[in-house]
Structure 1
């Protein structure tokens, strides 16, 4: 059978030289149909989703494609990408960690077309080669290689109507010779959305707060990627990304405070928030093949800098005093990251050895000025102003060994040691930790079993550590905590895959010294900061099934159930044991034989659940749309309606002396229209990407 496919491919390849580009593309598609990839593949340390094998993932952007991967959840309301039943994960492109979170990450993924994605790897227990940083694991998006020479590219535009209009434009131009590869990419995003957030604290005194907010953003991001093959064994490359982001918020907040003696005070605050955040990222690499058997030595370095400049003006009317306070805050935050690493891969007949070292330095300086308007002149309040300097250095070394036993058994084990030294304006300390990982997989016909374990660390981000007080009004603020310590995660998972369609797993996750934001009431002040305050045990199970019915209907059904118990410290709270259940059903219906018109209908729901001292209400989401491919799939048009039910995100937190309740809506209902045109070579240029996992902590 393999010889037959090879013979067909050879004939088609020969015919290509005599046919037009249109005929060539048709023939390539015919070969792809004959040798269609399996939808799911289970490896010892990851689950692989082959995008070309999924009808539902054609003609979409990377964010929408991730939502089609079983057990992955993309939540635009929260700005998160997570594994169902677990916490958020970090996203990589060809092994390179993206320096983006939340909405910025989702916007970036919209600039990547599914046609340029080869596969998506879901790594729930990352091996020792990767940074130990992160809660649940990694998602690695592998882009297709470009075997052709010459120019190629694409241009796309998207329009989204929420409460306000949003627009985006992306363009890519590639050029490749036998030795030189160049890629120039530019994206521009501009838009706004409305948010309504309610937060109430009920105890001996009561505080009712409601904010209606307009979030605005404008982001221009050009990038250049270049690589050059010095000879058949060595390659060098660079990447430069410049991000010029402007954002803002217009906020109207009303706060009603009832003291324990029933004295009532009301605050009305108008806030004008404007922020500039230019960023620069420069990366280089050098790869050297040591022999023809696959031994390879790699070096890489990365530099990242952000000069954040923010001005916030707010005016507060206080009743019944009928007084007005005008306040301005000016902040300058300058995070900077430098890293260098070396990796050695040594495949032998008895197994494969991987080892490497890495150094990264994270520096940040922050300056906040708080100014009161007095007699028509702003005067600095030194008690409410502050500066903060932070420096962190991390030294890491790792080693791993992988070996296959016959056709059925695949094993891999490794260990990573990271030593961290922290110096800040508040305190100095250091700590070292070992991070082991182990994987074993057994494959027999259509059945694949795998067992994995890894230990991880979750270090606080800059916003978690920064002690600045970000004021909502003259009385209420939120701040970071420079004394915050990292949390640790132990992941155990047993997985089973059948026929590359059915996948299930059971897992246990132990989270210790976890941190989060704690809100409290001090008089009329509703404040919040970050604390290490709980340990958590999760016992859970995932199950998913993907298949095609009647040749025109592709469906993916996923479900998760988990049980958690927890313990708290540093706070007085009521903890609860609890279960959680969630499920999703994604459907894609092909409406014609050419498979160029498709309708999709997706639904997911999270039933009410408890976690630590919190209770989260039911949340459901219904999305639908249509996809049209024209001009041999070079032109693609999508129309989508999201969050049709316009659901609000609601929850409650219970402490010994008070309860806290939130009810938020983040403009989730939207109508989207996107158009993408691909020209020249249709496949993505093969670009080397460099690991830079720690960059997301600058957020």
Structure 2
């Protein structure tokens, strides 16, 4: 922490010195003319949030900026970003899919400053151009373009105080000439949090588990992005990102098991968990303008590789006879993803055509070794070891057509075809699964605009393929009796989205949607004697009807408020498991307020409150959850120096829920150290606008995370 505070102090001092020098040589006053942009805009296939028009979104990182977008929910504790009515979303930057999740996604977004974001697009029913993968929508962060030459950049230092202290530092340096652009980023973090998890299974056999865990994570992520204008009509570039992350958990688990004949057994397990995950991501592109009317050919290729190595040592004491089992597991996971694509944009007088093709290959080799500690040292237990090999290839082609009909109507329709071949194999059991299928994914959008009113109607069909964690059959042991595993026999689920939207005066937005999920999969836990086992199954279909409403406005020139309400009703059909059927419902709301405390709007106070009322989803029941956060933002030296102080989850709410089956009920009572204090200092130097960089879509990488 001392290192972080010293870094912060030096950062502030250097910034003040730089500003003093700048003021001493300043001879010419410049007048900046600002054009007021609409805060919200609605197009046929997306809602647009203009960050520059939002007081609340100034002086923040990318994660905090997303939290201000209507209908977008950000839960950093769980590592989830979602759109109301969607389980989660994929995040893009300038049209390139990040496909990061959890901590990796949030760390990437924290390296982006709101000053560098032009707008954020919320796409609830993605068009044919994008991958059909996923049961969620898309969020596209559009960065500003930099017309200026020379150097620019920023440095940010952040102190994070939860139960334990942590920090993060990141910096960006840009350089641009008339033909050459480059951007160098460096991000480092070292954080820890305390988790308190209580999980019970009550049925013929009863199992009660309490886990106190210290989660630790650190990582260094440098990246470089370069592009070169070969001619006035062509440009090429690449981006390379390296990440070396270390993770650790110190765990104390107490488990009580009561058999059907009321025999009680108690276990105490201490676990030492350490992992390393170096990853490489390389992307390259070539853009060619075919004419002066906007026709363009884009070629891109991506490669991703990970070499994760995790060692877990746990010691379990059986309290009835005081016996101890010492176990070590070593797991190696090596996913690789390669993709190549070609996209063609063809604007004509009769409409705009987009078409393209794509190929991607996903490979993974996983190896889990299990050792028991004996008098002779660690001895391998081959019955619990596991090898898993998986390969998937996907071929895709799409075509879409868009046209404006007069001043009021806008329409877009598209069709995507994906051919998939996948096979998984477990050498230790000589078993595997191979499947091959092709599917069509249509999408259509219509928008009607008149005066201050915009009406939209959209439809899309999507697919949700299992990722590596849900497919891999090897067992992740928490003690010698309990484990979780994937299921290589999982098959994809299919989703149909239908949505009717309305926007009034670029302030009020509302939508009614219908979502049909078929052959959905999820995690299922059950008791087998002394063992608590978790795996994944295809086990339900779901129908959901929902309503989303948000209103964004500025009052008295100093108060910006975003009010959102989300409601849904659903019913589920179960198969293959003895889940308890019931109708689902949910209701939530949030009120985000930002107050400018001075005339120049350089000091702002924000107070945000949200509440999820008790709700039923599939066979889950979640209890009430309230979230209150507040903070202060200060901008100095013409916004070059920014200081933010934030307190999150002030009420220190716990996550409570039940899972219902016909023969048992599961209870959850968790707290993941959500209450935190954050103090960040950012200094912007050089040109104020971010450098223009080309981003390449790489949707498939997320399934390897």
TM range (shorter): over 0.9
Q: Distance in 2 between matches of 1:176 and 1:345?
A: 27
**Per-residue deviation, residues 364-415 of structure 1 (Å, max 9, x unmatched):** 0000000000114001100000100000000000000001001111100000
Task: Give the secondary structure class of the aligned counterpart of 1:109.
Answer: helix
Instruction: Provide the residue aligned with 1:418 in structure 2.
Output: 418
Shift of 1:77: 2.0
Match of residue 27, structure 1, among 25, 28, 31: 31
* Kept in 1: contact 2:239–2:283 (CA 8 A): yes
**Per-residue deviation, residues 447-483 of structure 1 (Å, max 9, x unmatched):** 1111000001111110110001000100000000001
Equivalent residues, number? 677
Q: Distance in 2 between matches of 1:602 and 1:259?
A: 47
* Kept in 1: contact 2:91–2:99 (CA 8 A): no
Structure 1 residues 476-555: aligned runs within 5 Å: 476-555=482-561
In structure 1, the gaps of 5 or more residues are: 1-18
Q: Distance in 1 between matches of 2:303 and 2:696?
A: 11
Q: Distance in 1 between matches of 2:517 and 2:179?
A: 48
* Kept in 1: contact 2:622–2:657 (CA 8 A): yes
- Using the size of structure 1 for normalisation, the TM-score is 0.96
Tell me whether 1:567 sits opposite 2:569 in the alignment.
Answer: no
Tell me whether 1:661 sits opposite 2:661 in the alignment.
Answer: no
Instruction: Provide the residue aligned with 1:577 in structure 2.
Output: 583
Structure 1 residues 615-626: aligned runs within 5 Å: 615-626=621-632
Shift of 1:21: 9.6
Instruction: Provide the residue aligned with 2:369 in structure 1.
Output: 369
Shift of 1:103: 2.1
Instruction: Provide the residue aligned with 1:687 in structure 2.
Output: 693
Structure 1 residues 576-595: aligned runs within 5 Å: 576-595=582-601
Task: Give the secondary structure class of the aligned counterpart of 2:692.
Answer: coil
Shift of 1:612: 1.3
Shift of 1:669: 0.3
Task: Give the secondary structure class of the aligned counterpart of 1:220.
Answer: strand
Instruction: Provide the residue aligned with 1:434 in structure 2.
Output: 440
Q: Distance in 2 between matches of 1:121 and 1:163?
A: 35
Q: Distance in 2 between matches of 1:490 and 1:355?
A: 22
Instruction: Provide the residue aligned with 2:15 in structure 1.
Output: none
Instruction: Provide the residue aligned with 2:284 in structure 1.
Output: 284
Q: Distance in 2 between matches of 1:21 and 1:254?
A: 67
Over 3 Å counting, the alpha-carbon distance change for 1:24 and 1:230 in structure 2 is: farther
Task: Give the secondary structure class of the aligned counterpart of 1:472.
Answer: strand
Task: Give the secondary structure class of the aligned counterpart of 1:107.
Answer: helix
Shift of 1:24: 8.0
Task: Give the secondary structure class of the aligned counterpart of 2:644.
Answer: strand
Match of residue 464, structure 2, among 455, 458, 462: 458
Structure 1 residues 150-299: aligned runs within 5 Å: 150-299=150-299
Task: Give the secondary structure class of the aligned counterpart of 2:31.
Answer: helix
Over 3 Å counting, the alpha-carbon distance change for 1:26 and 1:59 in structure 2 is: farther
Tell me whether 1:313 sits opposite 2:308 in the alignment.
Answer: no
Tell me whether 1:631 sits opposite 2:637 in the alignment.
Answer: yes
Task: Give the secondary structure class of the aligned counterpart of 1:158.
Answer: strand
**Per-residue deviation, residues 465-508 of structure 1 (Å, max 9, x unmatched):** 00010001000000000011111110000000011001001000
Q: Distance in 2 between matches of 1:306 and 1:22?
A: 50
Instruction: Provide the residue aligned with 1:11 in structure 2.
Output: none
Q: Distance in 2 between matches of 1:199 and 1:697?
A: 28
Q: Distance in 2 between matches of 1:470 and 1:630?
A: 50
Task: Give the secondary structure class of the aligned counterpart of 1:696.
Answer: helix
Q: Distance in 1 between matches of 2:160 and 2:295?
A: 48
Task: Give the secondary structure class of the aligned counterpart of 1:56.
Answer: coil
Over 3 Å counting, the alpha-carbon distance change for 1:55 and 1:20 in structure 2 is: farther
**Per-residue deviation, residues 57-80 of structure 1 (Å, max 9, x unmatched):** 001111011010001000112110
Tell me whether 1:135 sits opposite 2:135 in the alignment.
Answer: yes
Over 3 Å counting, the alpha-carbon distance change for 1:323 and 1:192 in structure 2 is: same
Task: Give the secondary structure class of the aligned counterpart of 1:55.
Answer: coil
Match of residue 598, structure 1, among 591, 594, 604: 604
Over 3 Å counting, the alpha-carbon distance change for 1:342 and 1:20 in structure 2 is: farther
* Kept in 1: contact 2:86–2:137 (CA 8 A): no
Shift of 1:428: 1.3
Shift of 1:359: 0.1
Task: Give the secondary structure class of the aligned counterpart of 1:58.
Answer: coil
Instruction: Provide the residue aligned with 1:14 in structure 2.
Output: none
Q: Distance in 2 between matches of 1:250 and 1:487?
A: 36
Q: Distance in 1 between matches of 2:25 and 2:260?
A: 78
Shift of 1:26: 5.8
Instruction: Provide the residue aligned with 1:9 in structure 2.
Output: none
Q: Distance in 2 between matches of 1:21 and 1:149?
A: 20
**Per-residue deviation, residues 286-316 of structure 1 (Å, max 9, x unmatched):** 0000000000001000000000001000000
- Using the size of structure 2 for normalisation, the TM-score is 0.95
**Per-residue deviation, residues 157-189 of structure 1 (Å, max 9, x unmatched):** 100100001100001010000000011110001
Task: Give the secondary structure class of the aligned counterpart of 1:427.
Answer: strand
Instruction: Provide the residue aligned with 2:5 in structure 1.
Output: none
Task: Give the secondary structure class of the aligned counterpart of 1:27.
Answer: coil
Q: Distance in 1 between matches of 2:177 and 2:24?
A: 21
Task: Give the secondary structure class of the aligned counterpart of 2:598.
Answer: coil
Q: Distance in 1 between matches of 2:581 and 2:651?
A: 31
Over 3 Å counting, the alpha-carbon distance change for 1:447 and 1:21 in structure 2 is: farther
Instruction: Provide the residue aligned with 1:10 in structure 2.
Output: none
**Per-residue deviation, residues 25-71 of structure 1 (Å, max 9, x unmatched):** 9623xx11xx2110000000000000000000001111011010001
Shift of 1:86: 2.2
Q: Distance in 2 between matches of 1:284 and 1:575?
A: 49
Shift of 1:667: 0.2
Match of residue 675, structure 1, among 658, 681, 704: 681
Match of residue 648, structure 1, among 654, 678, 702: 654
Runs of 4+ in 1 over 2 A off after TM superposition: 19-28
* Kept in 1: contact 2:510–2:549 (CA 8 A): yes
Over 3 Å counting, the alpha-carbon distance change for 1:156 and 1:377 in structure 2 is: same
Q: Distance in 2 between matches of 1:24 and 1:363?
A: 59
**Per-residue deviation, residues 258-307 of structure 1 (Å, max 9, x unmatched):** 11111111000000000000000011000000000000001000000000
Q: Distance in 1 between matches of 2:688 and 2:99?
A: 27
Q: Distance in 1 between matches of 2:242 and 2:447?
A: 42
* Kept in 1: contact 2:457–2:500 (CA 8 A): yes
In structure 2, the gaps of 5 or more residues are: 1-22, 426-431
Shift of 1:551: 1.1
Instruction: Provide the residue aligned with 2:338 in structure 1.
Output: 338
Q: Distance in 2 between matches of 1:140 and 1:175?
A: 24
Task: Give the secondary structure class of the aligned counterpart of 1:57.
Answer: coil
CA RMSD of aligned residues (A): 1.2
Over 3 Å counting, the alpha-carbon distance change for 1:594 and 1:374 in structure 2 is: same
